Structure 1
Amino acid sequence: MKFNLRNFVLATAASLTAATAFAGGYGKNSDIVETAVAAGDFSTLAAALEAGDLVGTLKSDGPFTVFAPTDSAFAKLPEGTLDNLLKPENKDQLVAILTYHVVSGKVEAEQVLRLDSATTVNGQDVSIRVEDGTVFVDNAQVLTTDVEASNGVIHVIDTVILPQG
């Protein structure tokens, strides 16, 4: 993938502004879960992490990169999908979806822009592309990048991404 400096500078400037507002005083002193919860737009993600017993993992040392879907991203799922995924008998499927949003290691926006894909914790690759200066992970648009946490980084996305098969 060709690195486009103009797009990177624009994305970084927007991200720094949004990240400052997003983190609300959290960030480097708070882990990924605390940072997301403090932002206020990730209650569905937090509930899903709790149902999947993944909170402890994302509070550990890491580092992790999380492509975090907002509450409105979860609302885009077909009616009943989220309720079904949160049932104890569907925990394995929920974990597969949630771990598809996590990459081991800290991958900041500058690095993401140079990638065509990244291997997620669930073992499958997400595709990464830039269209007209906008970054996409699979079919999700990246809204905010480089939200710092003590154990990694969060990139906010507008759609829940789903692993293949």
Structure 2
Amino acid sequence: MRKALLSVTLLLSGGAIAGGGSTVPSGNTIAAIVSNDPNFSTLLSAVQAAGLVGTLSSAGPYTVFAPTNAAFAKVPAGQLQALLNNREQLRALLLYHVVPGRVAAAQVKGLSSATTAQGGTLNVSTMGGKVMINDATVTRADIRASNGVIHVIDTVLMP
């Protein structure tokens, strides 16, 4: 787990792909899956604006709790625009959605919390057969990527 967090830190301090991390990724990485799914177009824009494409294209493994466009639509427009215009706050917000390591749904259900790449803690619970990450519901789990796994959530997680 520490090795993965160190990898994230190294990537953020200058290891992003050429072009500032804004190129469209290819393959079966987390970044490529997000870029090829129209339900994640807002997330992709945010990842590109934060310069995190390289991070989510790297070896990992990472677990990403990925908010959909509908999840981002719940964030007040002014707050979302302010985040998109503040690269450091945006990076922190996005890294709050990333847990170092590959954590499958079966493992998530057994957790009560998880430490994020941002350094915060996510609360994990099960309610009525649904997995909750803070106040977000996991709507789709275990989208496998070459460098980790994606769990789709219905609400943007705020640190």
Unaligned stretches of 5+ residues in structure 2: 1-26
Given candidates 121, 135, 140, the residue that maps to 2:131 is 135
Identity %: 51
**What SS class does the counterpart of residue 150 from structure 2 fall into?**
strand
Determine the structure 1 residue equivalent to 2:56.
58
Calculate the TM-score normalised by the size of structure 2.
Answer: 0.82
Say which structure, 1 or 2, has more relative contact order (CA 8 Å, 6+ apart): 1
Larger Rg: 1
**What SS class does the counterpart of residue 34 from structure 1 fall into?**
helix
Calculate the TM-score normalised by the size of structure 1.
Answer: 0.79
**What SS class does the counterpart of residue 80 from structure 1 fall into?**
helix
Determine the structure 2 residue equivalent to 1:95.
91
Determine the structure 1 residue equivalent to 2:18.
none
Say yes or no: does 1:42 pair with 2:40. Answer: yes
Given candidates 53, 75, 78, the residue that maps to 2:76 is 78
User: Number of aligned pairs?
Assistant: 133
Provide the aligned C-alpha RMSD in A: 0.8
Given candidates 65, 68, 81, the residue that maps to 2:66 is 68
**What SS class does the counterpart of residue 110 from structure 1 fall into?**
helix
Given candidates 104, 116, 123, the residue that maps to 1:120 is 116
Unaligned stretches of 5+ residues in structure 1: 1-28
Amino acid at match of 1:151: N
After TM superposition, where is structure 1 displaced by more than 4 Å over at least 4 residues in a row? none
Whole-angstrom CA distance in 2 between matches of 1:66 and 1:41: 15
